[in-house]
Amino acid sequence: MEVMTGRFNRRAAVLPAVLLLMAAVVLVATGCGGKGTTSTTAAEATTTSAASGSTESTAAADEFAGLEPIKLTYAFFAPAGTFPAKQMEEWAKLVNERTKGVVTVETFPGGTLLDAQQMYDGVQQGVADIGLGAPSYDPGRFPLTSGVSLPVGFPNSTVASLTLWDLYNEFKPKEYDGFKVLTMFTTEPGYLMTKKPVRSLADLKGMKLRAAGTGVPVLQALGAAPVGMAMPEVPEAVQTGLIEGTMTSREVLKDFKLAEQLKYVTDYPTVVVTFAAVMKQDAFDKLPAPVQKVMDDLGREMALWTGKYHDNENVGGALQWAKDTQGLQIVSLTPEEKTKWDDKLKPMVDAWIKDTDAKGLPGKQFIDKLYELRDKNAAEAGS
């Protein structure tokens, strides 16, 4: 204030000249079509936009600032090298990155914390914070989800995984009450891998083949003789002649070196195995909101990631290895023969709809939506 009052008279004397100069500047700017005004506004807008982006970025980081570290355990029943275990490692990494290090996830593959039968009960009991199980192995507990493991014509894991996730969100089955479903995905459909080429139902009749889950009734319907055994037992069982092949997803050709003995794959996709990663709902609800959002956003993203990884790297890599090093051959069915196989399997879907509807569940509605989503996701995935 002292400076202003001391020079007030001198400023008052020059004020009219200053006003005239300002008026001239305004007239010049207006005479140039207002370009000066537009340029200034654009610059201000750019500055504002940059500031806004910086603010948003800072806000994203700030929402995790001050949160206490969170450590979670994640259990799975199969070995670390399998594609579902690769998924759990990728999910754990992304959660850690996107929560700015707040959440650390320790993974326990290979049944080191919970096995397949214990998985979902173990999560409810707090043995593990997160569990990755296979609803296909327990259709009684997951009756609606079991419809995805029918022979419904999935072309690959990517389409089946996205369809499973979309169906879950469409129907919200009560079989998952008490759980927060974090993501879902599937294997690719099972294929016949055999010592001798199978080109027809006649070739398949009475053939002893290893199968599991809904693969068993599929082989029965096609006239084969399914044999139950754990996957690690298959190579020796093939070598000794106990079985003549297997029906499952094709990464086993390399993972278990089955291509050394099984030289033929029949190009007819059958049924998938479903997986669901879950957390106890009460435990999820206690997580900070920003952490919950990160996990929610990863749901469909991980279904897509896992399907693509399984199809392209896992199965794709195994097939290429088997062809290049073991002389694997792909056997195609004629259109007429394929129709015969389809006709043999259709009653399985019809029976499932009837039984599921009888339980008061939306069986037909579920399958109708499944076909709709299958076709939509196949078109989007280019499958």
Residue that wins the pLDDT comparison between 57 and 47:
57
Chain centroid to CA 333: 30
Task: Give domain status of residue 288, yes or no.
Answer: yes
Name the pLDDT band for 45 (thresholds 50, 70, 90).
very low
Average pLDDT, the chain: 87
Task: Give domain status of residue 174, yes or no.
Answer: yes
Task: Give domain status of residue 285, yes or no.
Answer: yes
Domain count, the chain: 1
Residue that wins the pLDDT comparison between 52 and 169:
169
Instruction: Quick: pLDDT tens for 319-369.
Output: 999 999 999 999 999 999 999 999 999 999 999 999 999 999 999 999 999
User: What integer pLDDT is reported at residue 150 of this predicted model?
Assistant: 97
Instruction: Output the domain CATH number for residue 289.
Output: 3.40.190.170
Instruction: Quick: pLDDT tens for 270-292.
Output: 999 999 999 999 999 999 999 99
Instruction: Quick: pLDDT tens for 114-143.
Output: 999 999 999 999 999 999 999 999 999 999
Q: Which of 212, 207, 166, 222 is nearest to 190 (CA)?
A: 212
Task: Give domain status of residue 218, yes or no.
Answer: no
Classify residue 286 by its DSSP letter: T
Task: Give domain status of residue 3, yes or no.
Answer: no
Instruction: Quick: pLDDT tens for 364-382.
Output: 999 999 999 999 999 998 8
Task: Give domain status of residue 226, yes or no.
Answer: no
Query: What percent of the chain shows pLDDT beyond 70?
Result: 84
Task: Give domain status of residue 265, yes or no.
Answer: no
Task: Give domain status of residue 38, yes or no.
Answer: no
Does the pLDDT at position 40 exceed 90? no
Ramachandran region, residue 371 (left: φ > 0; alpha: ψ -120 to 50; beta: rest): alpha
**Domain of 164?**
70-187+273-312
Query: What percent of the chain shows pLDDT beyond 90?
Result: 80
Q: Which of 104, 127, 135 is nearest to 277 (CA)?
A: 135
268, 77, 297, 189 alpha-carbon torsion, rounded to 10°: 0
Tokens of 71: 């450590």
Residue that wins the pLDDT comparison between 212 and 88:
88
